[in-house]
Structure 1
Amino acid sequence: MRILIDALGAPPSSGGMRMYTDELLRAWIETYPDDELHVVGYDYLAPLADRATVHLRPEGTRSRILGQWWDAGRLARRHRVDALISLSSVVSPLMPRDRRVCTVHDWRHRRRPEEYSRAVLAYRRSWEWSVAHSGAVAVISEKTDAETRRFVPGARTALVPNGRDAARHWGTPAPAEIARPYVLTFGHFVNKRPGLVIDALAGAADLAGHDLVVLGARGEVADGLRESPGGRALGERLHLPGFVEDDRYRSLVAHAACVVMASTDEGFGLPVAEANFFGIPCVVTDDGGLVEIHGDRVIGVEPTPTDLAAGIGRALAADLARLTPGPDETWAATARRMRELCRPR
């Protein structure tokens, strides 16, 4: 099969979107080595050039918008692919409808519009047209499926869950460079609510033996977290490394005492699956959808510093075993389901 995959919706600093792209492409290439795969995206995809035809594009909002709506479609037609798959909600209309697939991860801009600028909200309204006019819409969880049907009635959705075995190829990550036990959370987008986690640790005497690592927060955001009352209370216990290289990320996840996701909304939450793989407890706030998605694989709490601190305390006292993903919970299964959407309908 000849496929073009549009990864322009996953720039290098997109967090979960980039992780999704990396894992799906890896699994596709491993599972279907005879496919002729074209990928349009950014520089981090260059190492795939020996196993796929990679079409690199510059980063930037304008480049991404034009690339997704027009350039990907022109490339797909030029290379006469059987299907065009976008790994985000926008897929070029230059391909016939029955040969284009888009992917919906979440509808946070509809559920939490206050977290976005007017310009972003205006652009994201175009997502609904793309989803409504795609031949197939891959949705990454039952939660995302229900929301897609709510916001775009009549969308041709198909459940294509994320894999839970990304850490299978991590090997044994090197020990993290942090000497004390630590809690790991995220701060690369406003919906991650790192300030809530900072306040939880800062106000809990029984967590004084643990540091806090906030991944992804940079610049003014990181400065604001460090200078917040909770950040000043934590002092040297607060680590803000920003975005880190893959090896360091894996070390920080694999050796964490607890992973916390305090998000206002998530479509899946890949770090939950990574924590589960290593038997690391994961605490989530119960207003973001992660309890609905992961069930008893997480500890759900109210989104307050007091409740979050109590949940982290329970998690640290838990004795968890590694959760081995089943055969239908792998990225190979994700690639298979996605590929099935490329068949003529």
Structure 2
Amino acid sequence: MRIVIDALGAPAESGGMRVHAEELIRTWTEVFPADELIVLGYSWLEDSFRGVEGVEVVTAKGKAARYTGQIFWTAQVFRRRHADALLSLSTIVSPLVPSDRTACFIHDWRHRLNPAEFGRAQRLYRRLWQLSIRRAGTTFAISEKTRRETERFARPARLVVAENGDDHARRWGVERIVDEGTPTILTFGHFASKRPELVIDAVSVLRRRGEDHRLVVLGAKGDYREELRAKAEVASVSDLVEFPGFVTDDTLHRSVSSASVLALVSSDEGYGMPVVEGAYFGVPTVVTADSGLVEIHGDRVVPAEATGESVASAILRARESGAERGADAHPWSDTVRTVRDSLRARARTKVRGE
């Protein structure tokens, strides 16, 4: 097959969206090496797939290209390259391509579940999701939770669960390292919806209980990082909290594999990549009960209410119980096969190489 992949929804600092794009494309080349993948995205994709046979990356000129590029540029490339399918890794897929040749992914419905977390422009843009889903030949949901919410908020022509894989940490090339010093909590702050302030509150509670924990907040930047830094100061835990911002992949991988506990205390998640990344190394993850992560991951997570006291207690429980090491039963190769089988079934003509 020759497939145009729209990765414009996965800029370099997009967290789970970037992981999803990189792992889906890389695994595709391993499982279906005869396919041609024409990937439209950003420079990080060019760096990641340089020299990988079967992948051609065409880079956009900045993030602003996303909004017009997903409508016009992707359709233009689809026609010029005589592709079999246009697959968007986000929820907007061009309406200028025949619908039976298009597919998109839905990752979450946070803007409907927690609209106050989004600005007006973001909400307006995300309103287009319902139109895109109705027209796309296939919509892929990344979890059963996301499938259920999609049926609630949209009317997809065809909805298929293509659950994220859980084995990508095997590529990281790092080993589990246990630091015998102060226990380390790793959390995330690249979006306010990740609620790292709850973990700062938890670190303060743990200090009052005589249980000091070091906290590393990844991804927070700008004014938001300064707000969090001020909160740590007021809570008298500034000596325990670090804000390195966005870090290299190598640093991220070492941070996950060496943490005592991961804290993913988001207001909502469509899947929660850190849960399976931590589990690969035997690192437990504390989540909040209102995030949907218990529904998705079950016993692989330690739940807490969205309060500092509750998160603190869950961190101690997680450290006592640990986590079963290794991936679960859903490799990325299964995800790729689900997607490709669906695309092939929708194509009206015989695809290349078959």
Interval containing the TM-score (normalised by the shorter chain): over 0.9
Structure 2 partner of 1:38: 38
| Counterpart selection for 2:265 from 262, 266, 270 | 262
- The residue identity in structure 2 corresponding to 1:36 is E
TM-score (norm 1): 0.95
- The residue identity in structure 1 corresponding to 2:338 is R
- Quick one: distance in 2 between partners of 1:288 and 1:174? 27
- Quick one: distance in 2 between partners of 1:270 and 1:136? 23
The alpha-carbon deviation at position 211 of structure 1 amounts to 0.1
The answer on 1:77 being equivalent to 2:79 is: yes
Q: How many aligned residue pairs are there?
A: 342
Unaligned runs of 5+ residues in structure 2 are 347-354
Structure 2 partner of 1:129: 131
After superposition, where does 1:173-252 map in structure 2 within 5 Å?
173=175, 180-205=182-207, 206=209, 208-228=211-231, 232-252=235-255
Structure 2 partner of 1:29: 29
- The residue identity in structure 2 corresponding to 1:298 is V
The alpha-carbon deviation at position 266 of structure 1 amounts to 0.4
Q: Give 3-state SS (helix, strand or coil) of 1:138's partner.
A: strand
- Quick one: distance in 1 between partners of 2:243 and 2:175? 20
Maintained 8 Å contact 1:202/1:233 = yes
TM-score (norm 2): 0.93
- Quick one: distance in 2 between partners of 1:207 and 1:165? 37
| Counterpart selection for 2:93 from 91, 94, 101 | 91
The alpha-carbon deviation at position 154 of structure 1 amounts to 4.3
The alpha-carbon deviation at position 340 of structure 1 amounts to 1.2
Judged with a 3 Å threshold, the aligned counterparts in structure 2 of structure 1 residues 302 and 174 are, in CA distance, closer, same or farther, namely closer
Q: Deviations over 1:165-185 (max 9, x none)?
A: 011111225869996421000
Q: Deviations over 1:35-94 (max 9, x none)?
A: 11100000001132432111100222x311011111011101110110000000000112
TM superposition outliers: structure 1 runs of 4+ over 6 Å: 176-179
- The residue identity in structure 1 corresponding to 2:151 is R
Structure 1 partner of 2:349: none
Q: Which moved more, 1:190-199 or 1:42-51?
A: 42-51
| Counterpart selection for 1:168 from 167, 170, 174 | 170
Percentage of pairs with the same residue: 45
Q: Give 3-state SS (helix, strand or coil) of 1:203's partner.
A: helix
- The residue identity in structure 2 corresponding to 1:275 is G
Maintained 8 Å contact 1:202/1:231 = no
Maintained 8 Å contact 2:6/2:74 = yes
Judged with a 3 Å threshold, the aligned counterparts in structure 2 of structure 1 residues 268 and 207 are, in CA distance, closer, same or farther, namely farther
Judged with a 3 Å threshold, the aligned counterparts in structure 2 of structure 1 residues 204 and 179 are, in CA distance, closer, same or farther, namely closer
Maintained 8 Å contact 1:101/1:134 = yes
Maintained 8 Å contact 2:135/2:156 = no
- The residue identity in structure 2 corresponding to 1:46 is E
Maintained 8 Å contact 2:4/2:87 = yes
Q: Give 3-state SS (helix, strand or coil) of 1:224's partner.
A: helix
- Quick one: distance in 2 between partners of 1:273 and 1:174? 14
Judged with a 3 Å threshold, the aligned counterparts in structure 2 of structure 1 residues 69 and 94 are, in CA distance, closer, same or farther, namely same
- Quick one: distance in 2 between partners of 1:207 and 1:277? 30
- The residue identity in structure 2 corresponding to 1:4 is V
The alpha-carbon deviation at position 95 of structure 1 amounts to 1.2
